[in-house]
Amino acid sequence: MAVEGSKAAPRGLEGVVATTTAICSVEDGKLQYRGYSIDELAGKAEYEEVAYLLLNGDLPGKEQLRDFKAELTKHRTISPFLRQILQEMSESGTAMDVLRTVVSASAAEDPAEGDNSREAEYHKSIRLTAKLPTILATYIRRRRGEQPVPPDAALGHAASFAKMAGLAHPRAAEILNTCFILQAEHGLNASTFAARITAATLADMHAAVTAAMGALKGPLHGGATDGTMKMLDEIGTPDRVEAFVERGFATKYKFPGFGHRVYVTTDPRAKHLRKFAMDLAREAKGMPPYFEIQEKLVEAVNRRRQFPVNVDFYAATTYTYLGIPADLGTSIFAIGRMAGWCAHIMEQHGDNRLIRPESEYTGPTGKRWVPLAER
């Protein structure tokens, strides 16, 4: 029962401003990291530059980038303790289960565990950003029954991951570098909000990142790549798109990869991934016509309703063409997002207040306790 005169918050807190941030601006059709449009970064910068930007406030100079890369490279290797957890979990755990658990466990060996100072958290950010690709690549190898491949100090962030994960496509490193940039930060999305809520209790960075990973696992936030590929496989051929869309609208089917809470007309990240999917489709041999199905699907859906595709729609096919199984899409996303999560955790701790919203009670009132014998 609502209290008289009260005003309920919108469902899902849509449109509610929960905090201020200098990290990222998200508007319909526009995405900026620290004032830089995503179009200024994607396809031009290295992921390491963007990670530095998010953590430090501006792009690095040559010496700053050199030192930052050296720090990342130094911390890529994972300990025997973490390798043992990976080995045991990889038998049955999903990628996100493994990432979340290993990241959480890494707090036990972090030299600055419990220290929430900016300097300590900056170095934690580097360690977490550096280790996550190694953790995921080790998991990918393990589930294929292969021995892990160590990080390559001569390669950049994306290229080292591609080598460790065994991605043979000649464009894998280049494309993944841009994917990591596109996914590096996105304002107060569900996982970032979960991270900031956790950080606001003065829990440490590892706890906050673990909370973010738990939120990212949910299909309404990070699982659309897997769902998109399942949808495309179900459609099968371009000539079946119209019937699928008709049936989908009739049954209120939620088309994976379509729609976004903020982007009403255009997701500015999608065009970059569409270009990759289109280029890779031309080269693909012996694969279903996924990109052709996607293009017809977008056309058919938008004839009925303005419904933009989001970042996951073309990421799904891009990853598939690179040889990355669809169920790994969310974990790839996490590699890119790590720097963004860490930046938000540092920002929260830098000017902290416990995040504790109110709720509107809608249940009964005035009930009286009745002895058990009389119920």
**Residues noted as catalytic:** 260, 312
CB–CB of 15/8 below 8 Å? no
Sequence-distant (6+) residues with CB within 8 A of 323 are 167, 168, 169, 172
CB–CB of 118/350 below 8 Å? yes
d(CA 151, CA 362) in angstroms, rounded, equals: 54
Rg (the chain; Cα; Å): 22
Q: What is the end-to-end Cα distance of the chain in Å, rounded?
A: 24
d(CA 227, CA 365) in angstroms, rounded, equals: 43
Q: Angle CA(130)–CA(144)–CA(178) in degrees, nearest 5?
A: 40
d(CA 251, CA 163) in angstroms, rounded, equals: 43
Helix 80-89 to helix 95-106 angle (10° resolution) is: 150
d(CA 103, CA 268) in angstroms, rounded, equals: 30
Q: Which of 363, 373, 368, 275 is nearest to 318 (CA)?
A: 275
Order of all β-strands in the sheet with 24-27: 24-27, 30-33, 36-37
d(CA 127, CA 78) in angstroms, rounded, equals: 10
d(CA 28, CA 308) in angstroms, rounded, equals: 11
- DSSP letter at 183 equals T
